[in-house]
Amino acid sequence: MSVITPPSDLLRQQDPQMADVLAGEAQRQAVALQLSAAENFASPAVLAALGSALANKYAEGYPGHRYHGGCEYADLAEGLAVERARALFGVEHANVQPHSGSAAVLAAYAALLRPGDTVLAMGLAYGGHLTHGSPANFSGRWFDFVGYGVDAETGLIDYQQVQGLARMHRPKAIVCGSISYPRHPEYSVFREIADEVGAYLIADAAHPIGLVAGGAAPSPVPYADIVCATTHKVLRGPRGGMVLCGAEFAERIDRAVFPFTQGGAQMHTIAAKAVAFGEAAAPAFTTYAHRVVANARVLADGLAAHGFAVTTGGTDTHLITADPAPLGVDGPTARGRLAAAGIVLDTCALPYGDQRGIRLGTAAVTTQGMREPEMARIAALFTAALRGEGARIRTEVAELTRGFPPYGA
377 assigned to active site:
no
204 is catalytic: yes
Nearest to 118 by CA among 147, 158, 138: 147
Measured distance CA(63)–CA(95) in Å, rounded: 11
CA dist 332 and 338 (Å) reads 10
CB 220 within 8 A of CB 108: no
Which amino acid is it at 297?
R
Given strand 356-361, what is the order of strands in its sheet?
309-310, 319-323, 356-361, 346-349
Distance CA 298, CA 315 (A): 9
233 tagged catalytic: yes
Cβ atoms within 10 Å, residue 193: 23
CA distance 292 to 364: 9
Partners of residue 397 on adjacent β-strands: none
β-pairing verdict for 173-176 and 200-204 = parallel
Whether 239 is a known active-site residue: answer yes
List the catalytic residue out of 12, 58, 159, 371: 58
Residue of 39, 187, 225, 230 with catalytic role: 230
Q: Which of 204, 254, 323, 346 is catalytic?
A: 204
User: Are 61 and 67 a contacting pair, CB within 8 Å?
Assistant: yes
To the nearest 10 degrees (0 to 180), the angle between helices 247-255 and 101-112 is 110
Q: Which of 239, 252, 255, 377 is labelled catalytic?
A: 239
Helix pair 390-402, 372-386: axis angle to 10 deg:
160
Check if 354 is active-site.
Answer: no
CA proximity to 226, closest of 259, 256, 189: 256
Active site residue 58: yes
Q: Which of 66, 84, 172, 233 is catalytic?
A: 233
What span, in angstroms and rounded, lies between the C-alpha atoms of 59 and 36? 33
**Which residues are known catalytic residues?**
58, 60, 204, 230, 233, 239
